[in-house]
Structure 1
Amino acid sequence: MNWHSIRAFAERCDAFGIAVPEPIVRGLHLADVAEKHAATPSGRLLDLSDHELCDRVTEISIRIHDRDGVGAYRGMAPGVRVVSDALRKEVIIDTVPMLEAIILELQPRFDDAIAPLVDAAQRFGISYSTTSDAVIDQDDDTITAFRAAKKSWLAVQPIASFRILMSTAFGLEPTGGLSKDFSVLFAAGDNWGQGGKFYLEGKTQSHLDWFALAVGGVRLNGIGDVHTKIQERRARPIASTVEPATELLFPEDPSFGPLPSYPR
């Protein structure tokens, strides 16, 4: 949850032709204003009035002053840091309720991109470990499905990465940041995990085994969908190692105060 990931989210919105939420637009602008305000003024002095010259002295003195030689406390850095952190928290809290609409807009694109892979997994039994050598002697339909699935895998990655970024950029990780397995974001049913069953370390852009997921069905899940899936699994008596259900959608960051909960 930092400005870098928020900027990345805004860039992804632009790339997909989706309007960047207004809190982010305004927040990024104000963050830049704060950074620029901390810069030490410069320029020709002879042309300044007496009052302007005195102001310049004051502005420079404030900005080059430090405490015990610690760079983090130099000039206006402490004020900029406090304002930037508070601004970022406001941006996150105001943007989270808008994410559902963005996910809804992406769902048809996701469905179209993943459809050939789902067909290959469900009808032809093609998996992540299936090789071209394994299908070369199969019928034409199987070979066609295998080739289409490879293209589908690549086509779905940008959408999946964008959906994952929504979770990481706004503090909505389904496992509270304890796992990189984001399969719950894309599972149509109960075919998701947190222990790495659908996770391929470093193998794909989104680190997911789409074939394994596709067998049980895939869907681009909204925040409320993910909340429901996690709460339902937590409520199962057999899940002795699962954390008890809570009222909040995701773990709170004490410095933020309560984050939005879903469904509303």
Structure 2
Amino acid sequence: MAFQFNPMTIGITDLRDIVDTAAAYGIKPNPKVAHGIQLYETLHPRVTTVPAVTLLDLTEDEAIEHAFAIARSKATFMPGQPAVGVAVSTLQDQAVRETWEILAADTDRIIQELRPTFDAAAGQVHAAVEAGIRPHSTAQDVLDLEDATAAALWNDLNTHVRALERIKNLRVKMSTKLGLPPQAFYNGDVITDYTACFADPDTGIKAGAIFAYANNAIGRKTFTEPRQEWLALAAATKGKMQLN
């Protein structure tokens, strides 16, 4: 089943989160995506009072705009709402759909621009594995290695894992909200394995070996911390973690 836009599960907040997270890595959104989000906000009802005017001082166009501003500020989008409320709500829905279409078509560029940050953090996790750090290693285990390099890698490990987690969460949302593969459906629910998003396909790593999600809830398997997941993936891929 092809991924389709669903206004019940995909909203402006989801699109804004994806854009904001990507922006944190210096990835600028398509101008139309930014414009779509801004249009939605512009159309949103305001709780503030519309300034009073002397009506006879307005042109016909200004009077119509003022009337629209008043109606827009009072629209509640509830049954029985005024016609302008229906119009605003319809336009907002259209803004979300059109913004979603453009953002969904831009996923390859976003992934490409994220790769340098991902590769830098993943490289440090790979180095930690090569230094003898394992998914279930403790600080004492690292000390027992009596290796200054391993100790330094351990001390910095959580910083790199946090970077990878932010990218992972964005990548997963790009599947669940924008339809970027892998994407699977079962009885209307999303049941997806995301391991393939972070491993070179040539490694032959088994699906679900590290990252498995069901209905967007993380299935940690035998791991209780993100650090353990990334170390396990680094070990399984033998230096070939890759953002896909």
Q: TM-score, normalised by structure 1?
A: 0.64
> Aligned pair 1:216/2:236, yes or no?
yes
For 1:186, which of 191, 198, 218 is the aligned residue?
Answer: 198
Map of 1:93 onto structure 2? 101
Task: Report 1:28-43 matches (<5 A).
Answer: 28-35=37-44, 41-43=50-52
- TM-aligned CA deviation for residue 104 of structure 1: 0.9
Question: Closer, same or farther in 2 for the Cα pair 1:81/1:116, shift >3 Å?
Answer: same
Map of 1:105 onto structure 2? 113
- Describe the superposition over 1:108-166 as per-residue Cα deviations: whole angstroms up to 9, x where unpaired: 22111111211223552511x21112232223144344334333223323333332333
Partner of 2:97: helix, strand, or coil? helix
Residue pair 1:65, 1:74 contacting (<8 A) in 2 also = no
- TM-aligned CA deviation for residue 188 of structure 1: 2.0
Task: Report 1:149-168 matches (<5 A).
Answer: 149-168=157-176
In 2, Cα distance between the equivalents of 1:77 and 1:63? 7
Map of 1:25 onto structure 2? 34
Between the aligned residues of both structures, percent identity stands at 20
Residue pair 1:118, 1:214 contacting (<8 A) in 2 also = yes
Residue pair 1:126, 1:146 contacting (<8 A) in 2 also = no
In 2, Cα distance between the equivalents of 1:17 and 1:150? 22
Task: Report 1:123-134 matches (<5 A).
Answer: 124-127=132-135, 129-134=136-141
In 1, Cα distance between the equivalents of 2:124 and 2:35? 40
Task: Report 1:53-68 matches (<5 A).
Answer: 59=68
Map of 1:232 onto structure 2? none
Map of 1:143 onto structure 2? 151
The letter of the residue matching 1:186 is F
In 2, Cα distance between the equivalents of 1:195 and 1:81? 37
Map of 1:235 onto structure 2? none
Q: Higher strand share goes to which structure?
A: 2
In 1, Cα distance between the equivalents of 2:44 and 2:23? 24
- TM-aligned CA deviation for residue 62 of structure 1: 5.6
**Unaligned 5+ runs, structure 1:** 222-264
> Aligned pair 1:6/2:15, yes or no?
yes
In 2, Cα distance between the equivalents of 1:162 and 1:168? 10
The letter of the residue matching 2:169 is S
Greater shift after overlay, 73-82 or 4-13? 73-82
In 2, Cα distance between the equivalents of 1:196 and 1:47? 62
- TM-aligned CA deviation for residue 72 of structure 1: 4.6
Map of 2:5 onto structure 1? none
Residue pair 1:9, 1:169 contacting (<8 A) in 2 also = no
- TM-aligned CA deviation for residue 65 of structure 1: 8.9
Partner of 1:126: helix, strand, or coil? coil
In 1, Cα distance between the equivalents of 2:165 and 2:69? 49
Question: Closer, same or farther in 2 for the Cα pair 1:80/1:39, shift >3 Å?
Answer: farther
- Describe the superposition over 1:156-186 as per-residue Cα deviations: whole angstroms up to 9, x where unpaired: 2333333233333424363456247533221
Higher relative contact order (CA 8 A, sep 6+): 2
The letter of the residue matching 2:95 is L
In 1, Cα distance between the equivalents of 2:58 and 2:156? 72
In 2, Cα distance between the equivalents of 1:196 and 1:60? 45
**Unaligned 5+ runs, structure 2:** 1-9
* Aligned residue pairs, count: 217
The letter of the residue matching 1:137 is D
- TM-aligned CA deviation for residue 26 of structure 1: 1.8
